[in-house]
Amino acid sequence: MDCQAASEDIVIVAPRLPEAPGEAAYSAYEIDPVVIETATRLDEALRTAPGVSTFRRNDSAAANPTIQGLSIRASAPSGAGRALVTLDGQPLNDPFGGWVIWGATPPETIRDATILRGAGAGPYGAGALTGTVNLAERRGQGAVLSLEGGERGYVRAAGVGEAQNDPWSFMLAAATQQDDGWVPVRDGRGAADAPVWSDSIAGVSRVEWRDGVRVLSVRLGGYSESRGAGLVGAESTSEGSSLSVTLAAPAGDLAWRVQAWAMASDLYNTSVAVAPDRSTTTPANEQYETPAFGWGGNAALRWSGEDYGVEVGADLRTADGETRERFSFMAGSFTRSRIAGGRTLTAGAYVEGWRDAGPWLITGGARADVYRAWDGSRVERLIATGAPVLEFYPEDSETVAPTGRLGIRRDFGEFYLRGAAYGGFRPPTLNELHRPFRVGNDVTEANAALDPERIVGIDGGFGFERAGIAWEAGVFATRLEDAIVNVTLGAGPGTFPPGVFVPAGGAYRQRQNAGTIDAMGVEAEVSGKISERLTWRMALNYTNAEFTSGPLNGLRPAQTGEWNLSARLDWRPVAMTTLSAALSYESARFEDDLNSRELEAATVLDLRAEQRVFGGVSIFAALDNALDTDVETAETGDGVESFGPARTLRAGLVLRR
C-alpha cells in the first residue's frame, strides 16, 4: 500500500492502486528521488534514464512545446511522444498533440517516478507504445521553498506546502522560471539569429478526504509558458489547465479506483523564413490559436489473494481541437487563413492477472481498444475576400486494436531472471492528422489519412544484489509498424501540394506511415553504496534501430542515438555537506529522416554542492555543462548548426520543513 505516516495519528493514503506484484516481471527504471528533488524541470530528471528522450536535445525550457513528447528505449523519438505519462493515474499527454508540457508539473510536487519499458498493454493502453512513465505526487512530506538564480538572467522560484488533519489534507504548489537564454547559432550567425529565451509559471492545488478505507482527491492545475525559437519573430506561448477527481479504496483484498479528468490547452506559435545570409527573417506563419479540450476517465477493480491477483478495468480518452492560422505572407501581410482540426476518441477495457508460485512469478494481460477519428476538416481562405481556396473533409475512421502482454520472473535467492512479450498501439494525434508546421525554412504537411502505429516486442533480463551493490542487465527487440514519421518529399525552392512554397535551403516533408522500424538493444544499470556517505549509479542503453520497409528502408530513424550512458556520484564528506556529479553521454544522431544531417555526440558533466546551514535551510551552487561541451541540437539543410547552452553557474537557497 502506498502510504506514509504524517504523524502518529494521520496516515496519508494516495488515491491510486498500489503497484501490482506482476509488474516485477517487466523492465522498469526508478528515477533517483534526489535527481527529482534537485531538477529544475521534470523532463530533466526523467532523461537521466538512458534511452529516455524528448524529440530534440534541448530541455523543455527551450524546446518548442510541440516537440516535448517523451519516448523510451530510443528506438524512434517523436515530437508527439511514444510513451504515456501519468500522474496518479491521470494522463498528462496534451489532448491536441500528445506531447507533455513538463513545466506544468513542478518537480517539487513529485515524490517518485517509475519508467516502465515496453508497450503498456493491460492497465496503460493506448499511447504507451514504447513505455509508460508513472509519476506519484507527494503526500505528507511537509513544505519546500526554493529560490535560485544564475547566468543569462536565470531566475527560478518554487514552493509546495501541505497541511492535514484527521480526514482532510491540502496541497498548494507553484513555480515560476525566467531565462534570457542564449543564441543557438554560432558559425554563420546573422542578424536573424536571436536568443532562445523562456518564461513560465505553473500552479497546483489539491484537496483530499479520507475515512480510513476510501480516499477522495480533487486536483486542479494550470500553466502558462512563453519562449523564443532562436530567430527574430519566431516564438510560442502555451497555456492550459487540468482537473481530476479520483475516488479509491486502495487497500485490502478487494481494491478499486474510479477517476475522471479533463484538460484544456491552447498554443500560439509563429514561424519565419530565413534569408540565405541569415540577415533577415520574413513571417511565414502565425498560429494564433490552437484550442483543444480533452476529457476521460478510468476505473479498475482488483482482487488479491495471498499469492495471486486479478484486475479488470476500462478507460476512455477524447480530444477535440483545431489549429487556427494565418500564412502566405506577401507584400507585408498574411494573405491566407487556415482552420483545421477534428475529434478523436479511444476507449479500451482490459483484464490483468498474476500468480506468485514460490520462486516463480507469472503475469499477463489482454485488452481491446476502439479508436475513432471524425469531424475532420481543413479550410483555407483568402483573408481579403473570405473566398475558400482549399476545402478538405477527410473520411471518418475507426480502428479496433487488440493488444496484450505476458511476463515471467524466476528468483534464485539474490539473483533473478525475467522475460516479457508485449504488443501495443498509438493512435495519431490531432496535431499529426491536421496541423502543418514550419521550422525555419523546413515545412511539414499534416496527413489526415494516418493509421495508428503498432508495436510488438520481447525483452529479457537478469539482476543481482549483494554487499550493497545492485545491478540489472537485459536485451530487447521491437518491431514498430506503420511508424508515423516526417518523410522528406522534396527540397526548396519550389511549390508542393497543397500549394506550399518552400524557400531555398528548406525541405518539404509530410507525416506518413513510413513503414516498419526494427530495433534491438541492450540496457543495464548498476548502483552501490560504498558507505552511508557515498553512493553511486551508472546506466546505459544501446539501440540499433533501422527502417526495414517503406520509403526510408535501410535508414536510421531521425533523432535516434545508438548509445546513451549516465553516471551519478553523491558524496557527503561531512554530515551537512553534499557534493554531486552527474555525467551523461549520447552518441551521434541524425537530424533528419534521410540521415543527411548528423548531430555530433555529446558528453555533459553537471556538478552541484549543497550545504545545510541550520535546520532545514540549505544553500547550493550548481555548474551545468561544467566541461562547456558543444551540444549540437539542430542543423539546417544548408549546414547551419544550432547548439545548447554553454557552461552555466546557478546558486540558490532551499528551505525544507
What backbone torsions phi and psi does residue 43 show, to the nearest 5 degrees?
-65, -30
Distance CA 385, CA 518 (A): 50
DSSP labels, 75-133: SS--SS-SEEEEETTEE-S-TTT----GGGS-GGGEEEEEEEES--TTTT-TT-SSEEE
- Per the structure, how many domains does the chain have? 1
Q: What's 143's domain CATH number? A: 2.40.170.20
Flag whether 308 is in a domain: no
Distance CA 100, CA 262 (A): 15
- Beta strand 281-289 with 308-330 is antiparallel
Residues 6 or more apart whose CB falls under 8 angstroms from that of 630 comprise: 600, 602, 643
**pLDDT value of residue 8:** 46
Flag whether 132 is in a domain: yes
Flag whether 121 is in a domain: yes
Residue where the block lists cell 483573408: 383
Flag whether 304 is in a domain: no
Cα 167–chain centre separation: 34
Q: Please name every residue paired with 632 in a beta bridge, in sequence order, or none if there are none.
A: 643
Nearest to 281 by CA among 196, 193, 198: 193
DSSP labels, 345-395: EEEEEEEEEEEEETTEEEEEEEEEEEEEEEEEEEEEEETTT--EEEEE-PP
Residue 649: CB atoms within 10 Å? 15
Prior bond to 493 cis, omega within 30? yes
Flag whether 563 is in a domain: yes
Distance CA 558, CA 555 (A): 9
> Whole-prediction pTM value?
0.93
- What cell does 352 get? 490483468
- 3-class DSSP state of 24: helix
Nearest to 133 by CA among 28, 13, 263, 59: 28
Question: Residue 60 is which amino acid?
Answer: S
Nearest to 614 by CA among 654, 586, 568, 584: 654
Could you state, in chain order, the average pLDDT of each consecutive group of 10 residues for the chain (657 residues)?
Answer: 43 82 93 93 91 83 84 80 92 93 95 91 85 93 94 97 91 97 94 96 97 94 96 95 96 94 96 92 94 96 94 96 94 94 96 95 95 96 95 95 95 95 94 88 91 95 90 96 93 84 85 95 93 93 95 93 94 95 95 92 97 94 97 89 95 95
Domain that holds residue 422: 3-262+279-294+321-656
Residue where the block lists cell 556520484: 569
Per-residue 3-state assignment (H helix, E strand, C coil) for 540-566: EEEEEEEECCCCCCCCCCCCCCCEEEE
Nearest to 474 by CA among 466, 462, 458: 462
Distance CA 463, CA 479 (A): 25
**pLDDT value of residue 16:** 87
Flag whether 268 is in a domain: no
Residue 5: CB atoms within 10 Å? 10
Flag whether 309 is in a domain: no
Is the separation of the CB atoms in 536 and 569 below 8 Å?
Answer: yes
Per-residue 3-state assignment (H helix, E strand, C coil) for 151-195: HHHEEEEEEEEEEECCCEEEEEEEEEEEEEEECCECCCCCCCECC
Question: Residue 308 is which amino acid?
Answer: Y
**pLDDT value of residue 11:** 56
Residue 615: CB atoms within 10 Å? 9
- What cell does 427 get? 493512435
Nearest to 243 by CA among 216, 266, 264, 223: 264
- 3-class DSSP state of 14: coil
Distance CA 70, CA 81 (A): 4
- 3-class DSSP state of 518: strand
Flag whether 493 is in a domain: yes
